[in-house]
Chain A
Amino acid sequence: MALKERDEFSGQMTTGHEWNGIKELNTPVPRLLWAFLATLSLFAIGWTVLMPSWPGVNDYFRGLLGADQHQAVRQSLAEADVAKASWSERLATEDFATLAGDDAIMTVVRQTGPALFGDNCAGCHGYDAGGNPGYPNIAEAPMMWGGDVETVAETIRVGINSNHPETRYGQMLAFGRDQMLASAEISALADYLVSLQGQKSLSAEETESAKTLFADNCAGCHGEDGTGMVETGAPNLTDAFWTYGADRSTIRHSIYDGRQGTMPSWEGRLSSTQIRLLALYVMDLRGATP
Chain B
Amino acid sequence: MFKFHYRLERSALGLVGFIILVASIGGFIEIAPLFTIDETVEEAQDMRVYTPLEVAGRNIYIREGCYACHSQMIRTLRDEVDRYGPYSLAVESQYDHPQLWGSKRTGPDLARLGNKYSDAWHTAHLYNPRDLVPQSKMPAYRWLLRDQLRTDDLGQHLAALRAVGVPYTDEQIANATQDAYGQANPDSLEASGVTERYGEATNIRSFDGQRGRLTDMDALVAYLQMLGALTDAAHTTETAEAE
Binding site for B on A (CB under 8 A): 55-60, 69-74, 76-77, 80, 119-120, 122-124, 126-127, 132-135, 163, 261-264, 269
Interface core residue of B40, B118, B131, B133 (most chain A CB under 10 Å)? B118
Tell me the complex Cα distance, A19–B131, Å. 77
Q: Which residues of A sit under 8 angstroms from B39, Cβ to Cβ?
A: 55, 57-60
User: B78 an interface residue at 8 Å Cβ cutoff?
Assistant: yes
Binding site for A on B (CB under 8 A): 32-33, 35-36, 39-40, 76-78, 81-83, 85, 87, 112, 115-121, 124-125, 131-135, 238, 241-242
* Sample (9) of A-B pairs whose CB atoms are under 8 Å apart: A58-B36, A58-B39, A73-B77, A73-B78, A74-B242, A77-B82, A133-B131, A135-B121, A269-B116
Tell me the complex Cα distance, A134–B119, Å. 12
Tell me the complex Cα distance, A69–B40, Å. 14
Tell me the complex Cα distance, A183–B32, Å. 72
Q: Which residues of A sit under 8 angstroms from B133, Cβ to Cβ?
A: 122-123
Closest residue of chain A to B89, judged by CB?
Answer: A70
B35, B81, B242: which contacts A55 (Cβ < 8 A)?
B35
Q: Which residues of B sit under 8 angstroms from A70, Cβ to Cβ?
A: 76, 87, 241
Number of inter-chain CB pairs below 8 Å: 74
- Asked if B115 and A264 sit within 8 Å, CB to CB, the answer is yes
Tell me the complex Cα distance, A34–B210, Å. 69
- Determine the main DSSP class of B at the interface with A: helix
Closest residue of chain B to A28, judged by CB?
Answer: B2
Tell me the complex Cα distance, A281–B193, Å. 45
- Asked if B85 and A74 sit within 8 Å, CB to CB, the answer is no
- Asked if B36 and A55 sit within 8 Å, CB to CB, the answer is yes
- Asked if B76 and A73 sit within 8 Å, CB to CB, the answer is yes
- Determine the main DSSP class of A at the interface with B: mixed
Q: Which residues of B sit under 8 angstroms from A264, Cβ to Cβ?
A: 115-118
Tell me the complex Cα distance, A60–B40, Å. 8
Q: Which residues of A sit under 8 angstroms from B134, Cβ to Cβ?
A: 126
- Asked if A123 and B117 sit within 8 Å, CB to CB, the answer is yes
Tell me the complex Cα distance, A124–B133, Å. 8
Q: Which residues of B sit under 8 angstroms from A76, Cβ to Cβ?
A: 77-78
Closest residue of chain A to B29, judged by CB?
Answer: A54
Tell me the complex Cα distance, A72–B76, Å. 8
A56, A72, A80, A134: which contacts B120 (Cβ < 8 A)?
A134
B36, B112, B241: which contacts A56 (Cβ < 8 A)?
B36
Given A60-B40, A69-B76, A134-B124, 8 further pairs, Cβ under 8 A? A56-B36, A60-B36, A71-B241, A123-B132, A126-B132, A262-B118, A264-B116, A264-B118
CB distance from B126 to the nearest CB of A (A): 13
CB distance from A50 to the nearest CB of B (A): 18
Tell me the complex Cα distance, A52–B76, Å. 16
B82, B118, B131: which contacts A261 (Cβ < 8 A)?
B118
A74, A124, A126: which contacts B117 (Cβ < 8 A)?
A124
Tell me the complex Cα distance, A222–B142, Å. 35
Q: Which residues of B sit under 8 angstroms from A133, Cβ to Cβ?
A: 131
CB distance from A108 to the nearest CB of B (A): 15
Tell me the complex Cα distance, A70–B74, Å. 12
Tell me the complex Cα distance, A110–B35, Å. 52
A58, A73, A262: which contacts B81 (Cβ < 8 A)?
A73
B83, B115, B121: which contacts A124 (Cβ < 8 A)?
B121
Tell me the complex Cα distance, A76–B77, Å. 8
Q: Which residues of B sit under 8 angstroms from A59, Cβ to Cβ?
A: 39
- Asked if B116 and A124 sit within 8 Å, CB to CB, the answer is no
Tell me the complex Cα distance, A55–B86, Å. 26
CB distance from A176 to the nearest CB of B (A): 15
Q: Which residues of B sit under 8 angstroms from A269, Cβ to Cβ?
A: 85, 112, 116
